[in-house]
């Protein structure tokens, strides 16, 4: 039996950060070498101790599956706004009684509990690190207001002293690479006033079989620190022995 998906059903197609178009091809693209899920989860478990963990923008559950195998005793939750992505996750994760899924937008999600650790890898927020340049944060939420709403919701789901980990990606450039079934995956980037638009394509012999566009907002490092500080998250340089995430600690003075 697939895992039940909590939250509202349907009605999210076309929302900011919606991955419906890509969902049927997502696993194919990601497991053709785009992300290394074992390393990502190693970085989470090696550097953090937690009894409960929340993934923001869990997609098809590729990280949650690896986490469930390594942490069978942990209370694990995944939130995502794309129903088609979560349906794949619910099939994938059916043998994990300690994993739950919820279909909600991060801007207003409510799970009625707090977690020791929250993380997002390629999910709603992530960092781009390009050589010695300062990291900058990328958000699937283009509106400034939505970022405030989302971070306020995340803060209200993390225990005091708990951590928020945001994944690191390499430089953003136009990109083209064959995937394991021979199709060609590509990304094209267009700068915008507050960030960039990214077009994703999958093509089979010149014919486009999938196209998706996301409008991202970006924040410089100093802007990111100021934004996160408003919600009680302070940069935790001590936690950065890992190469895959930048860590923030929920301060004692925050709610």
Which residues of the shown chain bind ligand SAM in the complex (CB under 6 A)? 16-17, 19, 30, 35, 57-59, 62-63, 79-82, 85, 105-107, 121-124, 140-141
What is the spatial distance between Cα 255 and Cα 251, in angstroms, rounded to a whole number? 9
What is the spatial distance between Cα 128 and Cα 85, in angstroms, rounded to a whole number? 24
Identify which of residues 144 and 251 has a Cβ nearer to ligand SAM in the complex: 144
Identify which of residues 35 and 185 has a Cβ nearer to ligand SAM in the complex: 35
- Residue 22 CB, shortest distance to ligand SAM, in Å, is 8
- Residue 95 CB, shortest distance to ligand SAM, in Å, is 19
List the one residue out of 15, 13, 14, 17 whose CA is nearest residue 139: 17
- Residue 84 CB, shortest distance to ligand SAM, in Å, is 9
Identify which of residues 3 and 141 has a Cβ nearer to ligand SAM in the complex: 141
- Residue 34 CB, shortest distance to ligand SAM, in Å, is 9
Is-contact 70 96, C-beta < 8 A? no
- Residue 60 CB, shortest distance to ligand SAM, in Å, is 6
Residues in the chain: 255
What is the rounded (10 degree) CA torsion for 250, 251, 252, 255? -60
Residue nearest ligand SAM, CB atom distance: 17
What is the spatial distance between Cα 82 and Cα 17, in angstroms, rounded to a whole number? 8
CA-based end-to-end distance of the chain: 38
Identify which of residues 16 and 246 has a Cβ nearer to ligand SAM in the complex: 16
């Amino acid at each position: 039996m697939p895992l039940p998906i909590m939250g509202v059903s349907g009605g999210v197609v076309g929302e900011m950060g919606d991955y419906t178009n890509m969902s049927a091809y997502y696993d194919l693209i990601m497991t053709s070498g785009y992300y290394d899920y074992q390393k990502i989860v190693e970085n989470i478990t090696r550097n953090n101790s937690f009894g409960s963990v929340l993934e923001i923008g869990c997609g098809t559950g590729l990280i949650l599956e690896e986490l469930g195998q390594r942490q069978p005793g942990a209370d694990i939750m995944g939130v995502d706004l794309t129903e088609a992505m979560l349906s794949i996750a619910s099939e994938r994760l059916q043998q994990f009684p300690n994993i739950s899924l919820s279909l909600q937008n991060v801007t207003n999600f409510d799970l009625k509990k707090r977690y020791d650790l929250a993380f997002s890898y390629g999910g709603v927020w992530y960092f781009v690190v390009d050589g010695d340049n300062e990291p900058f944060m990328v958000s699937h939420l283009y509106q400034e207001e939505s970022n405030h709403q989302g971070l306020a919701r995340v803060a209200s789901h993390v225990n005091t002293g708990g951590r928020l980990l945001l994944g690191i990606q390499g430089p953003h450039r136009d990109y083209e690479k064959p995937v394991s079934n021979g199709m060609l995956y590509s990304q094209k980037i267009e700068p915008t006033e507050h960030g960039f638009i990214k077009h994703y394509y999958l093509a089979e012999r010149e014919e486009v079989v999938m196209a998706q566009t996301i409008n991202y907002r970006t924040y410089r490092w100093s802007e990111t620190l100021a934004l996160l500080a408003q919600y009680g998250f302070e940069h935790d340089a001590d936690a950065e022995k890992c190469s895959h995430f930048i860590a923030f600690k929920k301060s004692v003075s925050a709610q």
